[in-house]
Chains A and B, each alone.
Chain A
């Protein structure tokens, strides 16, 4: 295999398959087969890349050759490659993509051809986002993946879909545009001869640093733009509503993978290139992220609709990622990446399982549910596993991410950790409440009547495959975190994030709390 073609191929396959579905739209079986190809091959490639990931001295692997598509004079080239941070996310895209693809192929939607077409387009965008080295294309692929989401929600969504779709569209477009302004600002502030290629831009900025005030503005734009995309407080309302209305496979892809774009952008682009800006905004970001964790945490507790709960829950957990980003340290950033990967899989699984629950109960209002565990034990077990993952049980990556983030935050302030850690309690409360309300106890009267007519069946084979696929990868990452953490560790360090072991501090000044991150930014290069 030619390493430089791997990633473009993985990006192109779903796209080609998508257009294939348009051509063969009359023959549904061919369309399904095409969709299989379009989801399976990228998965295989992502796993292959994951197993053969050996970054070169720039920290990248599978670098493709830069292609000028017409914007070369503005420093924009199409180039793909993977680094330690993007590799796990790329794998996430491959895995969740396949799972969602299987769900989509086996859904009995009207106009399945069109649905699969859109899913394939979306998947192709996802395979592009994390592999893009050029910031412009990174943004571009995000939008490529985002647009089908709106359409899918609008056409195949549940009852509230019109409002949800439009609210989501407006929010996400606003966020995307603001972050686009940020990217443009970055490009412009970098001065003449700058390129939007991450590797080159970093070198360029090392030689021509951006002024502090500019950094603050641009990072602010990026932070709030990307923040909207990741449902940073208070711009989160689109998420639960949108996910509640979205068709399952779409919600899986969006909540699981696409939403991570914003966070990834902050980690990979904004913070390392604009360290002073990141430092200036860190306090504000921590406040907002804490709101995400604690306030939204309470909001989740008050939800009675299962899907709403999962949706709000994902908003809440993104708060942790933001906290990680705000620390500007290898630990925090690494934890955020870890959490993104793990959360991506677990939230996709939760959406999938909620849908399975809904299929069997019709209603999603938790007080009216119950007793499902004895009828569908596998579903129950999987749901418990997914819940446990999302509330941070060790053995799943979520725990590692949250734990690292707490550790990193300690350098910032103990009180922040204390507040943030209440999140693990809050999530336990709502997660377990949901499990016990939905699965344990006796079914409500209404449900029992429904089941008399239509007895619930446990998961069938094609329902199980995506669930087990996701579970397997969740456990793999949770049980053997070195698979991803070494890459993350190496690349976050290479990006210049602040890193020191607590031992270094105690040797120097035993009684002084670890230094504040702002000093670390300047100090970072000397550390390595």
Chain B
């Protein structure tokens, strides 16, 4: 029964997290072992489920909460997409856990870290399995929380403190639209269950409005850090590197794309093309941003953004399967590269500036080698995993939307250019600092995951490979569509040439431009104007900063002052003061003079007499 197994898979990391939180807070090593064991267990269960003989599709749902019109179910939807995504999460996740054992070995808050990883696994799996929009949203928020918690791991640094906050809040902006979208969907379609929604959307295509699509897209924009909500991802690199690999490269940010794939039938054509454009733009924009970065992790982060743009473009072009394909391969090689960068950082004693590295290939051969495979894979080196998925996207773009295709092509060149820049400067040449000159190869817990992921990056795109074949079940439909689209073969031929040209130009160009192991940024030195112009591409951060400090906080301040002035001072104090002044006035009447007092009585008599005579009142 897949649902029982799915439930087991879901619960294992939760139990691990709870166990760590309750009993192992002080025992970091034990906590790490528990967490890794849980990851291993769930990975094993997942592999058994994916590659075993069980049914390929299942759907089961439990009532979790009911209030009037709103019933929230906890359900499991098991199909090809789920299987592929589960593989990515469980398998990559497991190796990242292993890597963390080494990377976080000396950390003082290991227990918190591994507890967080377990929580994350739980939440992420929840999104993967969810059979309805409500459940997706619940786990969507939970991954946001685990991401927050893990980014905040080095909370003593201001950078991390700011980054975690930013990540969560920017995500919330997206979620704002997302939650509205979900509610709108629910009230329009009458259900939140994905299977039912699919059936309904097919019957009533006119109900799938632009609004639904746009609002649901907001969630994707936030979680997958797409334009204009991309600002949080580079900052999120303040977290530990395994976290960046797991959450901010392989899985969580991809959850946005996965979600879109899940609800593809709710996105109509208009919104799809918008997503395609946004994705393409992001691919290009992130590439440009990456060019000027010095921090190894930030380069990778922008690269992630760019690749997510590719996925979005693929989805927008109407090929969700290809998007998922790219998601999978990207998970492999990007996790690989992040772990590689983690290895580098670990080796260089937490130095992250690439211009202070250099010459690491000799000192850290395994890292360098596997990282190289990653670079090649992302650049689209033939027969590596990235080649297949990227090629498919570009073909699709060529066939359906030429401008997008053009943008994506430029982005592809940029990708290989900045990846080349990263690789040449970091690994080749001579060490540029003490840190890098004393670098050593990392222990086995850290390089073994690199090797495994490198292997996956190599074979991940080959349908022919035994187990990989199972993953392709999810891509078949789209790939089939693409292969049978008009003009596919020509385009494919063209792309073989253009694609190769792209990675050759990129890698070669960057070598020529930057040289191996350069200690300073040649672009900045030789072409300061260009460099500055490119730096300007980062205008979003100042813009948002401006918004937060100059607009939002000022509004808050003004409203606060108004609150103090009008409500507290005028209404509350004012009315109290009025009564008090009234009291003082009446008090003055009691001046102790008997005659004045008798005047009161006379007044009373006069009034009463006048009333009796009918002069006053009726």
Do A and B touch, yes or no (CB under 8 Å, in the complex)? Answer: yes
Chain B residues 182 to 206 lying within 8 A of chain A, measured CB to CB, are: 183-184, 186-191, 204
Closest to A395 in B: B142
Q: Which residues of B contact A (CB under 8 A)?
A: 25, 63-70, 72, 109, 112, 134, 137-139, 141-142, 145, 148-149, 152, 155-158, 160-162, 164-165, 168-169, 172-173, 175-176, 179-180, 183-184, 186-191, 204, 207, 552-553, 555-557, 559-560, 563, 567-568, 571-572, 576
Q: Which of A64-72, A75-83, A189-197, A398-406 contacts B (4 or more CB under 8 A)?
A: A398-406
- B-contacting 9-mer, from A17-25, A201-209, A354-362, A428-436: A428-436
3 smallest CB-CB distances across A and B, nearest first, come from A330-B68, A334-B67, A440-B161
Contact B176–A506 (Cβ < 8 Å): no
Taking each of B69, B165, B179, B207, which has the highest tally of chain A beta carbons within 10 Å of its own beta carbon? Answer: B69
Chain B residue nearest to A435 (CB atoms) is B165
Instruction: Chain B residues near A332: list those with CB within 8 A.
Output: 68
Do A482 and B67 have beta carbons less than 8 Å apart?
Answer: no
List, in ascending order, chain B residues with CB within 8 A of A302's CB: 553, 556-557, 559-560
Please, how many angstroms separate the alpha-carbon atoms of A503 and B70 in the complex? 11
Q: Given A329-B69, A417-B183: A436 and B162 within 8 A (CB)?
A: yes
Give the number of chain A interface residues (Cβ < 8 Å). Answer: 80
Is A338 part of the contact surface with B, judged by Cβ < 8 Å?
Answer: yes
User: Chain B: interface secondary structure?
Assistant: helix
Contact of A510 (CB < 8 Å), options: B155, B184, B204 = B204
A404 touches B176 (CB 8 A): no
CB within 8 Å of B: which A482-528 residues: 482, 485-486, 488-489, 492-493, 497, 499-507, 510-511, 513-514
**A236 and B566 alpha carbons, distance in the complex (Å):** 13
Smallest Cβ-Cβ distance to B211: which chain A residue: A414
Q: Chain A residues with Cβ under 8 A from B138's Cβ? A: 394-395, 399
Residues of B near A485 (CB, < 8 A) are 65-67
Q: Evaluate contact between B142 and A501: CB separation under 8 angstroms.
A: no
CA distance A371 to B157 in the complex (A): 9
Bound CA span A481–B158, Å? 37
Chain A 80-117 interface 0/1 with B at a Cβ cutoff of 8 Å (1 = within): 00000000000000000000000000000000000000
Residues facing B in A351-410 (CB within 8 A) are 371, 373-374, 377-378, 381, 384, 388, 392-395, 399-400, 403-404, 406-408, 410
Check A432/B65 contact, CB under 8 A, given A167-B572, A394-B139, A502-B190. Answer: no
Tell me if A440 and B152 are in contact (CB < 8 A).
yes
Complex Cα–Cα for A381 and B180 (A): 30
A170 and B571 CA atoms in complex are apart in Å by 14
B555 near A298: Cβ-Cβ < 8 Å? yes
Query: B165, A432: Cβ atoms under 8 Å?
Result: yes
Please determine whether B557 and A501 come into contact, CB atoms closer than 8 angstroms. no
Instruction: Give A93 to B179 CA distance when docked, in angstroms.
Output: 31
From known contacts A393-B145, A418-B180, A432-B169, infer whether A301 and B64 are also in contact, taking CB-CB under 8 Å.
no
Closest chain-A Cβ to B22's Cβ sits at a distance in Å of: 10
B187 touching A481, Cβ below 8 Å = no
Name the B residues within 8 Å of A497 (CB-CB): 68
> Once bound together, how far apart are the Cα atoms of A481 and B66, in whole Å?
8
Is A441 interfacial (CB-CB < 8 Å)? Answer: yes
Query: A47 within 8 Å of B by Cβ?
Result: no
Which residue of A is nearest B572, CB measured? Answer: A237
Are the CB atoms of A406 and B179 closer together than 8 Å?
Answer: yes
Instruction: List the A side residues contacting B161 at CB < 8 Å.
Output: 436, 440-441
What's the Cα separation between A166 and B193 when bound, in Å? Answer: 53
Whether B563 contacts A503 by the Cβ 8 Å rule is no
How far does the alpha carbon of A407 sit from the alpha carbon of B66 in the complex, in Å?
12
Q: How far is the CB of B15 from chain A (nearest CB, A)?
A: 13
Contact partner of A407 (CB less than 8 A), chosen from B186, B204, B567, is B186
Whether A442 is near chain B, meaning CB under 8 Å from some CB there, is: yes
Q: Does A439 contact B (CB under 8 A)?
A: yes
CB distance from A267 to the nearest CB of B (A): 13
Write the nearest CB–CB distance from B101 to chain A, whole angstroms: 22
A299 CB within 8 Å of chain B:
yes
**What chain B residues lie within 8 Å of A179 (beta carbons)?**
none
Contact A330 B557 (CB under 8 A): no
Complex contact A374–B155 (CB within 8 A): yes
A488 to B409, CA, bound (A): 57
**With a CB–CB cut-off of 8 A, which chain A residues contact B568?**
237
Least Cβ distance of B411 to chain A in Å?
31
Q: Which residue on chain B has the smallest CB distance to residue A238? A: B572
Could you list 15 examples of A-B contacts with CB < 8 Å?
A: A299-B559, A335-B67, A377-B25, A403-B179, A408-B69, A432-B148, A432-B164, A440-B152, A441-B155, A481-B65, A482-B64, A485-B66, A502-B69, A502-B188, A511-B207
CB interface residues, A 409-423, toward B, < 8 Å: 410-411, 414, 417-418, 421-422
* Residue from B68, B109, B112 with most neighbouring chain A CB atoms (10 Å): B68
> Is B560 within 8 A of A425, CB to CB?
no
In the complex, besides A424-B172, A425-B169, A436-B152, 19 extra interface pairs with C-beta distance below 8 angstroms are A236-B567, A295-B563, A296-B563, A298-B559, A299-B563, A301-B552, A331-B69, A335-B67, A384-B149, A393-B145, A399-B141, A400-B72, A407-B186, A418-B180, A421-B176, A425-B176, A440-B160, A481-B65, A489-B68
Q: With A and B bound together, what is the CA distance between A504 and B68 in angstroms?
A: 13
Q: How far is the CA of A406 from the CA of B204 in the complex (A)?
A: 25
CB of A378, distance to nearest CB on chain B (Å): 8
The answer to whether B63 and A406 touch across the interface, beta carbons within 8 angstroms, is no
Nearest-neighbour CB distance to chain B for A459, whole angstroms, equals 12
A303 at the interface (CB under 8 A from B): yes
In the assembled complex, A284 has its CB within 8 A of some CB on chain B: no
A410, A417, A482, A502 pick with most chain B CB within 10 angstroms: A502
Decide: A506 and B155 in contact? CB cutoff 8 A: no
Do B169 and A505 touch (CB < 8 A)?
Answer: no
Contact of B560 among A303, A374, A505, A511 (CB under 8 A): A303
Q: Is A234 an interface residue (CB 8 A)?
A: yes
Smallest Cβ-Cβ distance to A506: which chain B residue: B190
CB distance from B573 to the nearest CB of A (A): 9
The answer to whether B169 and A429 have CB atoms under 8 Å apart is yes
Give chain A nearest CB distance to B560 CB in angstroms. Answer: 4
How far does the alpha carbon of A499 sit from the alpha carbon of B68 in the complex, in Å?
6
B interface footprint on A454-497 (CB within 8 Å = 1, 0 otherwise): 00000000000000000000000000011001101100110001
Docked CA distance A236–B563 (Å): 10
CB < 8 Å neighbour of B176 from A299, A424, A481, A507: A424
| CB of A473 to closest CB in B, whole Å | 16
Q: Assess the B64–A394 pair: CB atoms within 8 A.
A: no
Inter-chain CA distance A170–B572, complex, in Å, is 10
Is A440's CB under 8 angstroms from B155's CB? yes
Min Cβ gap B255→A in Å is 15
Asked if B207 contacts A510 (CB within 8 A), the reply is: yes
Instruction: Give complex CA distance A299, B555 in Å.
Output: 9
Cβ–Cβ contact A298 & B560, under 8 A: yes
Q: Are A425 and B142 in contact (CB under 8 A)?
A: no
Residues of A within 8 A of B571 (CB): 234
- Are B190 and A331 touching (Cβ within 8 A)? no
Query: CA separation between A329 and B187, bound complex, in Å?
Result: 14
